[in-house]
Amino acid sequence: MSSAGDAVLARLDGAAEEAARELSALVCINTVNPYAAGGGPGERAGQEHLAGLLEKIGGRISFLEVPGDIYAWAGVLGPPDRDWTGRPNLLAEFTFGAGRGASVLLDGHMDTVGVAGYEGDPFGGEIDGDLVRGRGASDCKGGLTAALIALRALRETAPGALDGRVTLASVVDEECSGGGAGTLACCRAGVPADHAILVDGAANSISLGCQGVFTGRVEVRGAGGHAAGGGERGGPLEAILAAKRAVDRFAALRAERVPTSAINVGLLTAGTAPWNAPAAGALEFNGTYLPEEEGAEVRALFERMLAEAVETEPALHAHPPRLTWLKDIYGYRLKGRPAVLDAAERAFARVHGEVRTLEKRAWDDAAHLSRKLGAPVMGLGGGGGGGIHGPSEYNEVSAVVGAAKTIALTVAELLGA
């Protein structure tokens, strides 16, 4: 290992208190996505906090707005009527040496899912031994914290030994069906990236790809009315339950054909009060598909299965369903042996004693970096512990420090250490 690598590892060996402090402070800032259930303020306060820390270590700070036509530009199906006003991406660019070497992009998202049903204070940032608790602690503020302290360590220990540029992009609207609009805006702006590293995800492995994702909504309508007054009892309710059975059959068929496929109904509603017969019902479901598959073909399969259900389910026949596709975003799979993977594997082995890789079943922003920015990209996340998106999210400080070491060593090698 180079002397630069030795120095940065030595610096980060004592970074547990720093990592806990920085992660806790970031968790204490509410950056819930505005489109979460119950709403949220968005990412701006978190972006401004992180910008101040990055500027102190020499980052050139800029903010990048998301264009309103970003999904059309990318040629993907994104959630309709999305508004990114006042929700800019944060870009912090660092120059090492003469800046003539490689360019490295670190990408992670600032927004979090909502906090409905969270147990305790979701923005308390409680430090409990090796744990930091709160919404976003693992997804993805742990990764952003790891990137921050990795860059801080590189600036302190190896500025003269490296040559090139590093950009940390803290992006918006990854969660809550955001479709990666923030990262797409970075791609459209041509943020420099000979190599890209996604800091979203678990810290215990290197991510080499992710599946594509789609989201659909099925709605039915009926007469409704007061149940005691002869309202249409059970019509739309039975119809939406029949639509749920169609989704279940679709999920079973997909699981048979593609064992890693995941189809989930996350929202099911009907009616407004117990004394009324429901006048409408709706469900929303999410699904994944392989990077080699076409999302349009997978969606067409469900459309055929729903049409068959209309013919076989009396409730659906009486209340024809309306299907709306809300989102369809491709996946990706890392190909070949790019330099970023070689560097990451050596760094990961140095920190963890072995190399562990996976392909995510979920979707992440790396797909856009690969397909739209054209950069070789893999994931070195900073997430640890559990409860992601759940009522008790937390992260392990040791996981954040381990991720910071791996990121720092990878960047150092790519910049010539």
3-state secondary structure 376-404: CEEECCCECCCCCCCCCCEEEHHHHHHHH
- Of 222, 221, 223, 167, the C-alpha closest to 199 is 167
The percentage of residues in the chain with a pLDDT greater than 70, rounded to a whole number, is 98
Q: Is the pLDDT of residue 211 over 90?
A: yes
What pLDDT is recorded for position 386?
Answer: 82
Pair (15, 105) in one structural domain:
yes
Token pair in block for residue 412: 């150092």
Token pair in block for residue 358: 């996976």
Beta bridge partner(s), residue 195: 104
Pair (262, 337) in one structural domain:
no
Pair (132, 8) in one structural domain:
yes
CATH of the domain at 322: 3.30.70.360
End-of-domain residue from the set 289, 304, 329: 329
pLDDT tens for residues 218-261?
999 998 888 777 666 668 999 999 999 999 999 999 999 999 99
Pair (155, 250) in one structural domain:
no
Token pair in block for residue 184: 């797409």
Query: How many alpha carbons lie under 13 Å from residue 408 in its C-beta half-sphere?
Result: 35
Pair (203, 216) in one structural domain:
no
Cβ atoms of residues 379 and 206 within 8 Å: yes
Place of tokens 């040496």: 97
Pair (229, 281) in one structural domain:
yes
Q: Is the pLDDT of residue 1 over 60?
A: no
How far is C-alpha 356 from the geometric centre of its chain's CA atoms? 21
Q: Provide the edge-to-edge strand list for the sheet that holds 212-221.
A: 263-270, 280-289, 212-221, 322-329
End-of-domain residue from the set 307, 329, 351: 329
Whole-model pTM? 0.95
Cβ atoms of residues 27 and 135 within 8 Å: yes
DSSP state of 352: H
pLDDT tens for residues 397-415?
999 999 999 999 999 999 9
Burial of 27 (0-12, 13-18, 19+ CB in 10 A): buried
Task: Give the mean pLDDT of the chain.
Answer: 95
Dist CA 370 CA 209 (whole Å): 10
Confidence of residue 417 (pLDDT cuts 50, 70, 90): confident
pLDDT tens for residues 99-145?
999 999 999 999 999 999 999 999 999 999 999 999 999 999 999 99
Dist CA 156 CA 330 (whole Å): 39
Pair (238, 266) in one structural domain:
yes
Q: Where are the beta strands (DSSP E) in 200-245?
A: 206-210, 212-221, 225-226
- Of 46, 55, 27, 20, the C-alpha closest to 152 is 55
What pLDDT is recorded for position 233?
Answer: 61
- Of 400, 387, 412, 409, the C-alpha closest to 112 is 387
Pair (75, 167) in one structural domain:
yes
Token pair in block for residue 377: 């990209």
End-of-domain residue from the set 275, 294, 329: 329
pLDDT tens for residues 305-349?
999 999 999 999 999 999 999 999 999 999 999 999 999 999 999
The kind and range of the H/E element at 325 are: strand 322-329
Beta bridge partner(s), residue 286: 215, 264
Pair (303, 369) in one structural domain:
no
Pair (351, 312) in one structural domain:
no
Give the number of other Cβ atoms within 10 Å of residue 130's Cβ: 17
- Comparing 213-222, 232-241, 351-360, the range with the smallest average pLDDT is 232-241
Confidence of residue 361 (pLDDT cuts 50, 70, 90): confident
Mean pLDDT of the region 35-39: 94
Place of tokens 């990121």: 407
CATH of the domain at 118: 3.40.630.10
Dist CA 184 CA 368 (whole Å): 6
Burial of 246 (0-12, 13-18, 19+ CB in 10 A): buried
Pair (378, 355) in one structural domain:
yes
Pair (17, 102) in one structural domain:
yes
Q: Where does 133-271 have alpha helices with state H? A: 141-157, 181-189, 235-257
Domain, as residue range, for 349 = 3-209+331-414
Domains: count for the chain:
2
